[in-house]
């Protein structure tokens, strides 16, 4: 396809000729769709016309026999016997010349009767040879035909007339209808290229690639959705210390709350509000306890709780969601989140000041640590990890707490793949979560499996300004079942 719609008909025909060597007008019109018809209309007409025979052509160039005879005679004439002996077609020539009164007989001699002649036969035949047959009367043509000077022939002609889109200038066809054309009304005067559905698509379609991390995130998201989990809204990087720490029963003097570990926000430095009745319960639980606990026995500070920070874990989101759930009337739930968190880390090959956390939370009546272990087993099985071990650990907000280890066949050792636990009553009860309800939760980082799956040893090759576009564009699709954990998460 030449994209012929942009050319005028003349050009189109030339292109078709170059390509095919021959152009049949009706086939041409079909192949070029209606373009041909729109620009010019061609009508075929069958005509009859006249043409000189060889003899006719001869007379047209050399003159009629009678004229030639007349021109050959000297003024005193010649004898009839002499003429008949030497002049070709003398009988015919003599008869015609006499009839025209060009010659007359004087005894034995033939002499000119006029001083000059006009050879009408030659004039007629010349006209017919040149296509000017209309100037020759039909009666004469009939006579010439009888004399085999001319013959009738069939002729095909084409009547060419303007089509509806006829133009003498080659107009550029528009490829796109723009907003401006519509607004100005210019579109009315434009012609538009028809869509070319035969054209091939671009081979390289360099757009719409997911960054490896985002690709893996969507796979984890899929796993949670398959397990019947609902995604929590994680669209707030800035969080108050209250939801990030206090609501999670993390004491205000805990080292993780130190500025060496947590990024505090300077402006706005304080959160706008925290539900007051809930804040009072949190304050009491921290300072003097409740729900079978003596608390931490310290002066809880509202100031400290109102500080804004960049959330250090997605468990802050889980706390907000559990509080909301209790307010709306508790229902068993399965929640998950995958999003970014921030920590004031010393940067190295495996640590950045920000990373993504994957978190699962299940709240139901009478869940036990056995249920938590079952949930974690089911989740990790989905990513191809079957050998799991749990190691007792400590989190301020879970009891019991367990680090999750997986046996790495390649490294021949157990490596940490996540953290987990049952949320403490000191966290759940002030929220209003019913007493028989227990909440199991676990978390892991997104970057670590991503680095392993994509064979990246330095986190800076995966995240940040040094990431090469090729990483995103050229990486083969890695799927989660290829992941075998290595190294250390923390
Ligand atoms: N929030 C923990 C972390 O930052 C992970 C975790 C989530 C632990 C849920 C227990 C329960 O690593």
Q: What is the average per-residue pLDDT within 241-254?
A: 97
For ligand 1, the distance from its centroid to the CA atom of residue 439, given in whole angstroms, is 13
pLDDT digits (tens, 9 = 90+) for 438-455: 999 999 999 887 877 677
pLDDT digits (tens, 9 = 90+) for 35-59: 566 666 777 888 888 999 999 999 9
CB of 283 closer than 6 angstroms to any ligand 1 atom: no
For ligand 1, the distance from its centroid to the CA atom of residue 140, given in whole angstroms, is 116
The percentage of residues in the chain with a pLDDT greater than 90, rounded to a whole number, is: 60
CA atoms within 13 Å, Cβ hemisphere of 176:
3
Q: For ligand 1, atom 2, name the residue with the nearest CA.
A: 443
For ligand 1, the distance from its centroid to the CA atom of residue 376, given in whole angstroms, is 13
Q: For ligand 1, atom 5, name the residue with the nearest CA.
A: 443
For ligand 1, the distance from its centroid to the CA atom of residue 386, given in whole angstroms, is 21
Q: Residue 375's pLDDT is what?
A: 95
Res. 4: pLDDT tops 50: no
CB of 335 closer than 6 angstroms to any ligand 1 atom: no
For ligand 1, the distance from its centroid to the CA atom of residue 195, given in whole angstroms, is 56
Q: Residue 111's pLDDT is what?
A: 93
Q: Which residues contact 452 (CB under 8 A, 6 or more apart)?
A: 483, 484, 485, 486, 487
Q: Which residues contact 465 (CB under 8 A, 6 or more apart)?
A: none
Q: Which atom of ligand 1 is nearest to the CA of 419?
A: 8
Res. 225: pLDDT tops 60: yes
Neighbouring C-beta atoms of residue 282, cutoff 10 Å? 22
CB of 336 closer than 6 angstroms to any ligand 1 atom: no
Q: Tell me which of 243, 311, 313 to substitute to probe ligand 1's pocket, judged by most ligand atoms within 8 Å of the beta carbon.
A: 313
CB of 337 closer than 6 angstroms to any ligand 1 atom: no
Q: Which atom of ligand 1 is nearest to the CA of 398?
A: 10
Distance CA 270, CA 471 (A): 40
CA atoms within 13 Å, Cβ hemisphere of 358:
25
CB of 443 closer than 6 angstroms to any ligand 1 atom: yes
Q: Residue 217's pLDDT is what?
A: 93
Q: For ligand 1, atom 6, name the residue with the nearest CA.
A: 443
203-209 long-range CB contacts below 8 Å, 24 or more apart?
206/473, 209/472, 209/473
For ligand 1, the distance from its centroid to the CA atom of residue 443, given in whole angstroms, is 5
**pLDDT-derived band of residue 487, with 50, 70 and 90 as boundaries?**
very low
For ligand 1, the distance from its centroid to the CA atom of residue 420, given in whole angstroms, is 6
Cβ atoms of 385 and 410 within 8 Å: the answer is no
| H/E stretch holding 479 | none
């Amino acid at each position: 396809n030449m994209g012929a719609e942009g050319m005028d008909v003349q050009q189109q025909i030339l292109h078709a000729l170059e390509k095919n060597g021959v152009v049949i007008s009706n086939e041409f019109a079909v192949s070029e769709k209606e373009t041909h018809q729109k620009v010019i209309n061609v009508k075929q007409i069958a005509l009859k016309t006249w043409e000189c025979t060889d003899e006719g052509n001869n007379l047209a160039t050399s003159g009629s026999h009678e004229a030639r005879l007349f021109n050959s005679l000297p003024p005193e004439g010649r004898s009839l016997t002499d003429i008949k002996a030497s002049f070709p077609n003398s009988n015919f020539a003599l008869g015609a010349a006499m009839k025209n009164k060009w010659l007359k007989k004087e005894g034995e001699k033939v002499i000119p009767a006029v001083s000059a002649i006009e050879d009408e036969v030659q004039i007629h035949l010349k006209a017919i040879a040149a296509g000017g047959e209309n100037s020759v009367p039909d009666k004469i043509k009939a006579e010439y035909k009888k004399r085999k000077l001319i013959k009738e022939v069939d002729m095909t002609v084409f009547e060419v007339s303007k089509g509806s889109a006829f133009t003498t200038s080659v107009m550029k066809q528009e490829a796109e209808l723009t907003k401006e054309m519509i607004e100005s009304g210019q579109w009315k005067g434009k012609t538009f290229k028809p869509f070319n559905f035969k054209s091939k698509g671009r081979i390289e379609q360099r757009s719409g690639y997911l960054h490896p991390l985002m690709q893996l995130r969507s796979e984890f998201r899929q796993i949670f959705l398959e397990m019947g989990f609902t995604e929590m809204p994680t669209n707030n990087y800035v969080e108050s210390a209250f939801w990030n720490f206090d609501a999670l029963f993390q004491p205000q003097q805990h080292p993780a709350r130190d500025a060496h570990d947590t990024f505090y926000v300077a402006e706005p430095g304080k959160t706008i509000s925290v539900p007051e009745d809930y804040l009072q319960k949190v304050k009491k639980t921290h300072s003097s306890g409740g729900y079978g606990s003596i608390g931490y026995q310290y002066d809880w500070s509202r100031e400290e709780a109102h500080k804004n920070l960049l959330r250090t874990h997605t468990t802050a989101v889980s706390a907000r969601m559990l509080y909301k759930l209790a307010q709306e009337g508790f229902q068993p739930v399965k929640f998950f989140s995958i999003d970014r968190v921030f920590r004031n880390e010393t940067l190295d090959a495996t640590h950045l000041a920000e990373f993504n956390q994957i978190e699962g939370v299940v709240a139901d009546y009478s869940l036990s640590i056995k249920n938590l272990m079952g949930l974690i087993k089911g989740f990790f099985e989905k990513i191809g990890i079957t050998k799991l071990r749990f190691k007792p650990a400590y989190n301020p907000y879970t009891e019991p707490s367990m680090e999750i280890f997986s046996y790495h066949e390649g490294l021949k050792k157990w490596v940490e793949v996540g953290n987990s636990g049952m949320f403490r009553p000191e966290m759940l009860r002030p929220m209003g979560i019913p007493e028989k309800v227990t909440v199991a939760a676990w978390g892991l980082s997104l970057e670590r499996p991503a680095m392993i799956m994509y064979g990246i040893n330095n986190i800076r090759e995966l995240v940040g300004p040094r990431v090469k576009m090729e990483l995103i564009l050229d990486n083969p699709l890695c799927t989660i079942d290829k992941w075998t954990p290595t190294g250390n998460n923390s």
